[in-house]
Structure 1
Amino acid sequence: MSARTPFNDLSAESQAGILCNTTQFQDFAAKESGFPKGTFGHSAAAEYLRKFCGIDNRREFETNQTAREKLAILRTEYDAWRGVIPNPRDFRP
């Protein structure tokens, strides 16, 4: 039996694909886009993620450092939204 690779050790492309397939991230993307919970599926969540990161497809993460940095920001905002970490916006002066 092989050990699972921790999420943070996956490529940005893989992380993005996994996120877009989760209902919770789809609900987050819908809310951030001004739509009600339950209205986004994989495709809409993927479009939101690509727009947020400024890319046309996930393969661009391989060569686009800025897009990877934006994905990290998006993951932080998503983690705060779902209550895994404190909201970083709450700590701004």
Structure 2
Amino acid sequence: MTAAAKPRFDDMPPATQAGILCNDPRFQTFAAVRCGYPGGQFIASAAAEYVRLICGVNSRRMLNINTAAAERFAALLTEFDAHTGKIARPQR
């Protein structure tokens, strides 16, 4: 597969994005800290449970069909991007 044929993360459906994100060690640490485990790191399944809890779904697949859940996931992704420095943090 060439780089041109590989889909961009931002073009993937939310459920696919969530699956990738939950396997990212940076997100696993982010989720653990957000759950009150500073210095800890979740495994992928715990990160997936965190996403389901925050988004209010029982399956990440629901992110593709539940608009409110998809919006909550987008907000979570924005918070993670700010946490990692991918985007600037909003001024308060």
TM-score, length-normalised on structure 2? 0.91
Answer whether contact 2:63 2:73 (CA < 8 A) is retained. Answer: no
User: What is the Cα deviation at residue 61 of structure 1?
Assistant: 1.4
User: Displacement of 1:58 after TM fit?
Assistant: 1.0
Q: After TM superposition, which residue ranges in structure 1, 4 or more long, deviate above 3 angstroms?
A: none
How big is each residue's C-alpha offset from its partner over 1:3-53, in whole Å with a ceiling of 9 and x where there is no partner?
210001001110000000010000000111110334311011111111111
Question: Residue 12 of structure 2 is aligned with which of 10, 13, 16?
Answer: 10
**AA matched with 2:55:** C
Aligned residue for 2:83?
81
Q: What are structure 2's unaligned runs of at least 5 residues?
A: none
Comparing 26-35 with 55-64, which one deviates more in the overlay? 55-64
Q: Please tell me whether residue 56 in structure 1 is matched to residue 61 in structure 2.
A: no
> How far apart, CA to CA, are the structure 2 residues paired with 1:10 and 1:78?
17
What SS does the corresponding residue of 1:74 show, helix, strand or coil? helix
Return the letter of the residue paired with 2:23: N
In the superposition, the TM-score normalised over structure 1's length comes to 0.90
**Count of residue pairs brought into register by the alignment:** 90
Counterpart CA distance in 1 for 2:15 and 2:41 is: 24
Question: Distance in 2 between the 1:39 and 1:7 partners?
Answer: 23
* 1:42-78 per-position Cα deviation (integer Å, ceiling 9, x unaligned): 0111111111111000111122000110111001000
Q: CA RMSD in A?
A: 1.2
1:29 is matched with which residue?
31
Which residue of structure 2 lines up, in the alignment, with residue 39 of structure 1? 41
